Structure 1
Amino acid sequence: MKTPHHDAREMFKRITAPKELVEYPGQRYGILVDHFEEMVSRTTSWLAKTLV
């Protein structure tokens, strides 16, 4: 049985543009509560590095 994270990993493999995969433990919105600051920090750093 395929789950949403399996589909996401398949899509990630197909992307040829710059990318970085970070997976967090947890489910659904709990991830945002538990890891929000780190997610924002990683995202802004990645965008700054990639879009330059």
Structure 2
Amino acid sequence: MKLQGVVTWFDNFCVLLRRDGHSQLVYKHAISTIMPGQPVQLFDQIDETTDR
């Protein structure tokens, strides 16, 4: 089953998803994959034109 939403809260055992004004509590052991809805930039881009 595919669930979609924004993670609004989590702890060691559960994740709370919110979508369209409704919340769903999902146990982490039931989750196999989490994918972002849009690209995520994890690191700052390095400007290669400057000297180090």
Class of the TM-score when normalised by the shorter of the 2 chains: under 0.3
Greater strand share, structure number:
2
TM-score by length of 1: 0.23
The higher-RCO structure (CA 8 Å, 6+ apart) is 1
